[in-house]
Chain A
């Protein structure tokens, strides 16, 4: 009803959401369970550096509010997931702080650009530190799992505060490079009350 495509085959995920279905949820939960396994950790310094650069670039683009470039780092069918519990339960039966598919991610950016998003008027200034980057192999050679710690300093409303936690990225091969297929942002205080959670993490 909300999108021109009526057939999942020719749908544009920016306009209609066919890919977020039960199989997708099950796969997402599977991909984000038990993946931080020492046996799968990638030691190769060049590989680790490649993904560190990817995460550093993502942080910089968000700090610079370069949302189009940032969105382009994501696969067409992607998920941005901020669980509301430290164990990141089943998003089909647990409300999340944020759970955006491609279209809702673009909604998020659209809203911030309307000029009427009062929670971001003026916009927060942020500086992100990304560290402790670890790369893990996944069952498919076309995908990798990344773990990183983040610390976002956010200046907003006359004060600077810190948002911190760790992120899991699932990246998939796209041509010569990689795209982010899923990002799970685990705030250390995800199950607590948070003041003005309106920036993109």
Chain B
């Protein structure tokens, strides 16, 4: 894939980027409401953020075989993420080069080629134009590469997670992830064979800007209040053994959990230090889930002491690993944010299951997953619904034009609260908004530059 076409500045329109003072809109302690409400700013984000940096597209387990495809979006661009006939993963623009029709209208499937429903141009899953009906009606040679599908010029995977960027100067993905790659490794490596497989999703839409979801991704301040109904519900029988996220209830900042900013807008909330470090320590924190008492008794009967390590695989890993702008690993979910417009966003919680690495056996894997599906359904049903209701209400509140600022200064200027480390990372107590201040610096960096953006086509 060598033919790159540089992305030209928007034609026939004002270059709006010159109209905004990004340093005014995002300050150290506060952000202006316009960055959440202004359609023109949203439009700039759709190229400079979603395009200028690495965006999560899909997981390799969703396209395990040659010719598998799945339709996704990079910002607003419709994509077909394929594993082509030669097993190369590509992100093709789902846009016919003739007059622009989407080629594929299915969510997923297996196809060697895509035929446009409009006039029948046919494209291989490498993006190459294979043929057009009645080519003698064209004066020129239709094998010109400009008729091959546009594709995302850089598509890279990190241990199964597929990302794409249009920015030819972006760091290689692994370098871009930097210190957070190791945290992703830890998240994966607790699973057998260091692997997970995506198994459908809890899918939400909210009428709010996409950043409201990312601003919340590392927020430890909201839990005790936003999720009060969840905390009360999951502890209704718990007695002294507090369940779930109950550790947020009393002075969360003195708990061993913390947040860490790792650069490039990426951050991490680590609640693992709150657990007892023993097999079963994670499981002990789980609130009630369908089948839990049966499987617990059954595992103990079948596997003895080993049961606790297996039960932990069904337990929800207490981390939030957030890769700017649209990806989050939390519990056992892969959460993805998809902007739809300045005021509408999808938040999709892909479930994951474990696969046998040869040490577990079929029966154990089936049972772990049966339990793991149920633990994963808990938070989206009883927690996320309240988060997205709040995001919608923020969007509503921000319609008040004269009241301009959103504050994100919790922790700022409090002596001894924020630690800056030699590796460039920053740690702070769990309720600190340092993560938000830092990812907005990355947002600003991306918004200030047009970047070296390109699309690619097969030669």
| Chain A residue total in the interface (Cβ 8 A) | 54
A8-B294, A84-B202 known; A94-B373 Cβ under 8 A: yes
> Which single member of A3, A17, A91, A116 contacts B229 (CB below 8 Å)?
A116
| CB of A31 closer than 8 Å to a CB of B | no
Q: Given the complex of chains A and B, what is the CA–CA distance between A16 and B297 in angstroms?
A: 12
**Nearest B residue to A2, CB-CB:** B288
Binary per-residue interface labels of chain A (173-192) against chain B in the complex, 1 for a CB within 8 Å, 0 otherwise: 00000000000000000011
Report B371 CB to chain A, min CB distance, Å.
9
Once the chains bind, are B373 and A119 in contact (CB under 8 Å)? no
| CB of B107 closer than 8 Å to a CB of A | yes
Pick from B229, B230, B237 the residue with the most CB of A within 10 Å.
Answer: B229
Q: Given the complex of chains A and B, what is the CA–CA distance between A98 and B348 in angstroms?
A: 15
**Nearest B residue to A89, CB-CB:** B200
Once the chains bind, are A17 and B386 in contact (CB under 8 Å)? no
Q: Given the complex of chains A and B, what is the CA–CA distance between A16 and B347 in angstroms?
A: 32
A93-B199, A118-B390 known; A18-B233 Cβ under 8 A: no
> Which single member of A19, A99, A116 contacts B374 (CB below 8 Å)?
A99
Once the chains bind, are A21 and B291 in contact (CB under 8 Å)? yes
Report B389 CB to chain A, min CB distance, Å.
4
List B residues 183-205 near A (Cβ within 8 Å): 199-205
Once the chains bind, are A193 and B370 in contact (CB under 8 Å)? no
Q: Given the complex of chains A and B, what is the CA–CA distance between A8 and B228 in angstroms?
A: 31
SS class, residues of chain B in contact with chain A:
helix
Once the chains bind, are B237 and A111 in contact (CB under 8 Å)? no
**Nearest B residue to A107, CB-CB:** B233
Which of B85-93, B377-385, B435-443 participates in binding chain A? B377-385
Pick from B228, B236, B293, B367 the residue with the most CB of A within 10 Å.
Answer: B293
Once the chains bind, are A25 and B292 in contact (CB under 8 Å)? no
| CB of B215 closer than 8 Å to a CB of A | no
- Write out the residue numbers on chain B whose beta carbons fall within 8 Å of the beta carbon of A111: 229-230, 232-233, 382
Q: Given the complex of chains A and B, what is the CA–CA distance between A196 and B347 in angstroms?
A: 11
Report A23 CB to chain B, min CB distance, Å.
10
Once the chains bind, are A104 and B290 in contact (CB under 8 Å)? yes
> Which single member of B243, B291, B294, B385 contacts A197 (CB below 8 Å)?
B385
| CB of B97 closer than 8 Å to a CB of A | no
| CB of B284 closer than 8 Å to a CB of A | yes
**Nearest A residue to B348, CB-CB:** A193
Binary per-residue interface labels of chain A (89-102) against chain B in the complex, 1 for a CB within 8 Å, 0 otherwise: 10111111111110
A2-B237, A95-B377, A157-B392 known; A118-B369 Cβ under 8 A: no
Report A159 CB to chain B, min CB distance, Å.
10
| CB of A110 closer than 8 Å to a CB of B | yes
Once the chains bind, are B386 and A195 in contact (CB under 8 Å)? no
Q: Given the complex of chains A and B, what is the CA–CA distance between A11 and B367 in angstroms?
A: 21
A2-B293, A98-B381 known; A84-B201 Cβ under 8 A: yes
Report B213 CB to chain A, min CB distance, Å.
12
**Nearest B residue to A21, CB-CB:** B294
List A residues 61-116 near B (Cβ within 8 Å): 84-85, 89, 91-101, 103-104, 107-108, 110-112, 114-116
Once the chains bind, are A195 and B294 in contact (CB under 8 Å)? no
Report B25 CB to chain A, min CB distance, Å.
28
| CB of A15 closer than 8 Å to a CB of B | yes
**Nearest B residue to A198, CB-CB:** B385
Q: Given the complex of chains A and B, what is the CA–CA distance between A140 and B347 in angstroms?
A: 43
Question: Contact residues of A with B, CB < 8 Å?
Answer: 1-3, 5-6, 8, 11, 15-22, 24-25, 84-85, 89, 91-101, 103-104, 107-108, 110-112, 114-119, 121, 157, 191-198
Pull 29 A–B residue pairs with CB atoms less than 8 Å apart, ordered by A: A1-B284, A1-B296, A8-B294, A15-B237, A17-B294, A22-B370, A25-B370, A84-B201, A93-B370, A93-B373, A94-B199, A94-B351, A94-B373, A95-B199, A95-B351, A98-B377, A98-B381, A100-B290, A111-B229, A111-B232, A111-B382, A116-B229, A117-B385, A118-B386, A194-B203, A195-B204, A196-B385, A196-B389, A197-B204
